[in-house]
Amino acid sequence: MADKALMTTLVACLAVNGALALPLATLILGRDISLAVAAIYYRYASLPAPKTLARYWDFSLPSAEVHPTTVSKLNTFLQLVLIGTTMCVALLHDPAAPSSLTSIQSMLGGPEGVEKLVGGMGAVVAATTVYSGLSYVWLKDAVKILGDDEALKRRQGRTGRMVIGGCFGGFIVAAAWLAWKEWERKGDEEEESGGK
């Protein structure tokens, strides 16, 4: 949970600052929000009766187990690398930066090379974020509901996967729309600058 809080804070701050693309931030935050919404559902649906608020928050009553997928773990690592790299990029533009940082920028091909590197990392993170989020939809063993009623567990699992899919699907559409708008805006700017 601590990694989610860290990721949420850093992604939100970098997106507001303009250092991280808004469509990518939407995907990263959307995946985490979707998993949180699904966790709320799974906890409620799998909690044995009587379902009370006190019992909901009583974690001595286990009702489901979450098994993060391998791609989800890889995605979290890649997100942290991207966030760390994005924060370090700001140092490269600082005139007071040590010469070692300037030499790193030169090795990467100057500011354009750094921009391509971060853009490529962003594309990889976007792809693994989508794959990771959707893996919770199609992998039936990512969340194991505890209990004896197999039919009920199958139904709850299917509904939970639908919750993740519907919620994360909405974020994917929102990120695609934001990316499209950004692409259109850049195209308009290029037309205006080319026409002058």
Which pairing describes strands 143-145 and 64-66: parallel, antiparallel, or unpaired? Answer: antiparallel
Quickly count: other Cβ atoms within 10 Å of residue 145's Cβ.
Answer: 19
What's the Cα-to-Cα distance from 46 to each of 50, 101, 105, 153, 191, rounded to whole Å? Answer: 11, 52, 52, 8, 56
pLDDT tens-place values along the chain, 196 residues long: 677 788 899 999 999 999 999 999 999 999 999 999 998 898 888 888 888 999 899 888 888 888 888 999 999 999 999 999 888 887 776 777 777 777 777 787 777 888 898 999 999 999 999 999 999 999 888 888 888 888 888 888 889 999 999 999 999 999 999 999 999 998 888 888 775 5
Cα angle value 20/75/186 (rounded, 5°): 30
* CA–CA gap between residue 61 and residue 72 (Å, rounded): 26
What is the total count of domains within the chain? 1
Task: Determine the distance from the C-alpha atom of residue 157 to the mean position of all C-alpha atoms in its chain, rounded to a whole number.
Answer: 22
pTM given for the model: 0.85
Domain that holds residue 106: 2-60+69-195
Q: What is the DSSP letter of 109?
A: T
